[in-house]
Amino acid sequence: MHSLPLFHRIAGTRVVVVGTGDMAEAKARLVRRAGGIPCAETEAHHARIGFVALEDEREAEAAALRLKRLGLLVNVADRPDLCDFTLPSVLDRDPVLVAVSTGGASAGLAKHLRLRLEALLPQSLGSLARALEAARERIRARFPHGDARRRALDSALGEGGALDPFEVENDSAVEAWLAATGSETASEILEFSLSSDDPEDLTLRQARALGRADTVLHDPHLPEAILVRARADAVRIALPADPPAEGLSVILRRD
């Protein structure tokens, strides 16, 4: 991965858009939709990011260099080699945003992946997110320790859980979950024997467990391509080792 995915807040701030015509207007429309204020290059000293939408390659490169010299992060349409950042294809379930990016390799592929996700992700995702936000302090009070809170939410939001995002149809589910759940969540140890070093051979259960694990105990020679499927903040421990007393521990061994 050669890019760090970020969501940049631009509401109420100026964003430079260099160019005219449909391509530039599309960038300006994108900025407005995110709450930003499209502006000309003459106002670049007020901005932090800019878009260059010029057909002429030399003009586009020159504009990008001018903006970069002023300290702006720049996106140049159809020139990923000149881009400080690229634009993903975005699925909007406000406030949930799902961004699909190919790092500039193929905007068409990103778009069609997003269209497939549009059919899968329910409109109720936004309501669920807002309900969880409203209940944040009560969730913290119920689960004061971060690890326990994460495990409780993982259990509730997982497939078949009380807050399964694909099944919950209204925000009252969060209140019902808080009323029904206790203050402690059980520790768990899952052990898997892997059939190969190819991450594509992970079963759905194995992949989901890795995504939820607090600790991953693994064969010392297991490739990074598999270990990277775990949460970025999950603790990694090479075997032999004993799993911790708390949290979800996943043990990965080779056959």
Query: What is the pLDDT at residue 46?
Result: 96
Predicted local distance difference test score (pLDDT) of residue 182: 66
Angle between helices 172-180 and 125-134 (to 10 degrees): 50
Say if residue 87 is exposed, middle or buried (CB neighbours under 10 Å; 0-12, 13-18, 19+): middle
Does the pLDDT of residue 22 top 80, yes or no?
A: yes
Model confidence at 252, pLDDT cuts 50, 70, 90, reads very high
Summarize pLDDT for 187-233 with one digit per residue, the tens: 788 999 998 999 999 998 898 889 888 899 999 999 999 999 998 88
Mean pLDDT of 232-248: 88
Please give the pLDDT value at position 137: 95
Tokens of 61: 């490169």
- To the nearest whole number, what is the mean pLDDT of the chain? 90
Among 157, 180, 203, residue at a domain's last position: 180
What pLDDT, on the 0 to 100 scale, is given for residue 47?
A: 97
pTM: 0.66
- Verify that 141 and 193 share a domain, yes or no: no
Domain span at residue 152?
125-180
Q: What percent of the chain has pLDDT over 70?
A: 98
Do 116 and 130 sit in the same domain of this protein?
no
CATH number of the CATH domain containing 51: 3.40.50.720
pLDDT of res. 114 = 92
Distance separating alpha carbons of residues 138 and 153, to the nearest angstrom: 13
Domain end position, chosen among 74, 100, 121: 121
17 or 159, greater pLDDT: 17
CATH number of the domain at 223, please. Answer: 3.40.1010.10
Averaged pLDDT, 5-16: 94
State the pLDDT at residue 169.
Answer: 79
Query: In this structure, are 117 and 150 located in the same domain?
Result: no
Number of domains in the chain: 4
Q: How far apart are CA 99 and CA 228, in angstroms?
A: 20
92 and 78 within one domain: no
Residues 27 and 68 in one domain: yes
pLDDT in the model for residue 186: 60
Note the pLDDT tens digit of each residue in 98-140. 999 887 788 889 999 999 999 899 989 999 999 999 999 999 9
pLDDT in tens, 53-76: 999 999 999 999 999 999 999 999
Q: Residue 184: its pLDDT value, please? A: 53
32 plus 53 within the same structural domain: yes
CATH number for the domain that contains residue 117: 3.30.160
Q: Based on the fold, state whether residues 93 and 163 are members of the same structural domain.
A: no
Count of alpha carbons within 13 Å of 30, Cβ hemisphere only? 18
Q: What are the b/e assignments for 212-234, b being 16+ CB within 10 Å?
A: bbbbbbbbeebeeebbebbeeeb
Asked if residue 156 and residue 113 are part of one domain, the reply reads no
Task: For 201, list phi and psi in degrees, rounded to 5.
Answer: -90, 0
Report the pLDDT averaged over residues 23-51.
Answer: 96
111 and 176 co-located in one domain: no
How does 6-22 read in b/e, with b if 16+ C-beta sit within 10 Å? eeeebeebbbbbbbeee
My answer on whether 2 and 81 are in the same domain is: yes
**What was the pLDDT predicted at 164?**
92
Last residue of a domain, one of 61, 87, 113: 87
**Average pLDDT score over residue span 2-10:** 87
Instruction: Count the Cβ atoms, other than its own, within 10 Å of residue 106.
Output: 11
Residues 76, 105, single domain; the answer is: no
Same domain, 29 and 93: no
Bridge pairing between strands 188-194 and 215-218: unpaired
Percent of the chain with pLDDT over 90: 60
